[in-house]
Structure 1
């Protein structure tokens, strides 16, 4: 039986739906929460900061008492850099598990930080596996930390962080998780998956707006992070210690964004928390994948690895297909899709998160069909090379 979810209204003033992994389409209530100004040092705003931190910790479930939440101004990448710099000491060494742009960005961040690191590069979309991690750690005792991407939105792959975690802690090392595009819709319970810290952002699965990220870390790791950071503004320990002492952010907080996030957290809870939000996103994915496949499109990934966050589709081989034209036609119909990031074959991506349900996703499929017809594309079948690339993953 198809799950039943609330009906979502068309964004006001003719705004298109954002079929991206964030920023995403937000609710009217979230937008309206930003219409009031807040004093950053006022007790009311301190209460909002406390509500934000405790609300996020509650999403961890059992074991949350061992963690604390540290919001950090800026985009998600600011918080990723803050996490890496604060929890990997200058004398540490990291193993970065990369299968797309965001694993590579973590490696680039570590180069900027001057932290020693090695990269397990799985290409555009193959998942890192636990046995590979175990082998690398056995061969290199200098590695102190492993950095894993929960959902790599370059391809839409949901990486197997549980088996990675098992390999990391069996080898006596520590795991840091970039759950930027997954936290809030995919469980990351510390009672089931061991990690020292994870990072995400306001404008992802909680359905807030851009302006801050957050690091959720074990309290003992936060204590031991003192003095590690290269940066005044991105020092997680300093931000945490100041918040514990005063209830305030060290520097000017994104007050309107925090107000919007509080509203988004309320809606998240009302929807059923992580499981409820994840169920809607999963249904969104299933609807759009089934519909696009009926049109002849092929997904990059086998069903086993498809995340409920974003899906990569191969571009059709038909000579009349041009992505830029397809993009503009979809936008005219009310949907902003995402360009692909694969290096070998042409692709595009369709996000499944934000204020959308299965009814909206069915409209996405109709818009795709109409766009193909307008372009004179008779078949959405991808080129042979694309199918050969997918076969590598299946192998």
Structure 2
């Protein structure tokens, strides 16, 4: 470890020293070595989700929201209707993006502490045949809630609609098999479960949907069809890429493979969550979500009404001890969030719990 704080957030997050080390080299963006690195990146991203036979990997500069906006504006036409499944802030963001682009978008909402019900999706699609696309957030990081991807994907496919999946905080850890689960487009970023650094989003888009998307996007920079055509033509990025971020992500993807792939990473994150949840419950901070829908990505905790609690003082106390957590994002309740992802292990969470006890006891750092 370095003097850097431990980031208990949904990304940026604590990265392995080898990932940071990969950013120390300069790369020529049109050089053969970097073209080969980009090719390795795209190949590895597809392999994570078993999408080599069906999808194309299209990286794009920018944050996760950038790739979500790029995909929505590339795949959904003005004449289409998008159904957005919403039970948190990131579903609301997809709807806002669609509305900003003047697209016809409708919402199916559920409470922030409840998963999207596939039966409601089925009924909505049956009642509105004008719907052409469906968008879902896999793990809603507003709370850490895991939506039932396989069931929803099956319903959407039964109605013959393409599913656009925001897998921002699930890709690389939670199961996703594009050969078995019908998902048209998967959207994620470098700085979540892949344990890279911020600055790169990517889409895995089905070949047929991508071929039909020529000329749809109103944007030059965010046109994923054009971005893909550029990679296929000469292996190069159309516009200056974040070369060090690409190098870090390739290193992180190699580390994911060495760890044992998403299955092994999920097991580590589950152990992190179990350690965290048991300790925080003991200290008087219950989980907001039912464990059945709690993903091992980020956990939302509610302050105990029996103990005076002021988030800023709590945050500052933990920061003084080297731990950075996240404020809550709920619309109706006080809460705070602690991430389980990154290059972190059980011992890190045991140290965190000791720090929480010190802060609650108002012991000096």
Q: Could you state the TM-score of these two structures normalised by the residue count of structure 1? A: 0.90
Post-superposition shift, 1:87?
1.1
- Asked if 1:329 is matched to 2:317, the reply is yes
TM-superposition CA deviations, 1:25-55 (whole Å, max 9, x none): 0111111111111000000000000000001
Post-superposition shift, 1:88?
1.2
Corresponding position of 2:235? 247
Q: For structure 2, list consecutive stretches of 5 or more residues without a partner in the other structure.
A: none
Corresponding position of 1:19? 8
8 Å CA contact 1:93–1:142 kept in 2: the answer is yes
Corresponding position of 1:274? 262
User: Which of 71, 76, 97 lines up with 1:83 in the alignment?
Assistant: 71
User: Number of matched residues?
Assistant: 364
- Equivalent residue runs for 1:213-232 within 5 Å: 213-232=201-220
Structure 1 distance, partners of 2:289, 2:304, is 16
8 Å CA contact 1:315–1:323 kept in 2: the answer is no
* Runs of 4+ off more than 6 Å: none
Q: Which moved more, 1:119-128 or 1:239-248?
A: 119-128
- Asked if 1:48 is matched to 2:37, the reply is yes
SS across alignment from 2:361: helix
8 Å CA contact 1:182–1:309 kept in 2: the answer is yes
Structure 1 distance, partners of 2:232, 2:270, is 37
Q: What's the C-alpha RMSD, in Å, of the aligned pairs?
A: 1.2
Structure 2 distance, partners of 1:364, 1:98, is 32
- Asked if 1:191 is matched to 2:155, the reply is no
Corresponding position of 1:351? 339
Corresponding position of 1:368? 356
Post-superposition shift, 1:192?
2.7
- Asked if 1:307 is matched to 2:295, the reply is yes
8 Å CA contact 1:102–1:154 kept in 2: the answer is yes
8 Å CA contact 1:178–1:199 kept in 2: the answer is yes
- Asked if 1:317 is matched to 2:305, the reply is yes
Structure 2 distance, partners of 1:192, 1:322, is 46
SS across alignment from 2:278: helix
- Asked if 1:341 is matched to 2:343, the reply is no
Q: Could you state the TM-score of these two structures normalised by the residue count of structure 2? A: 0.98
8 Å CA contact 2:46–2:204 kept in 1: the answer is yes
User: Which of 229, 243, 252 lines up with 1:264 in the alignment?
Assistant: 252
Post-superposition shift, 1:319?
5.5
Structure 2 distance, partners of 1:319, 1:169, is 48
Structure 1 distance, partners of 2:169, 2:317, is 27
SS across alignment from 1:120: strand
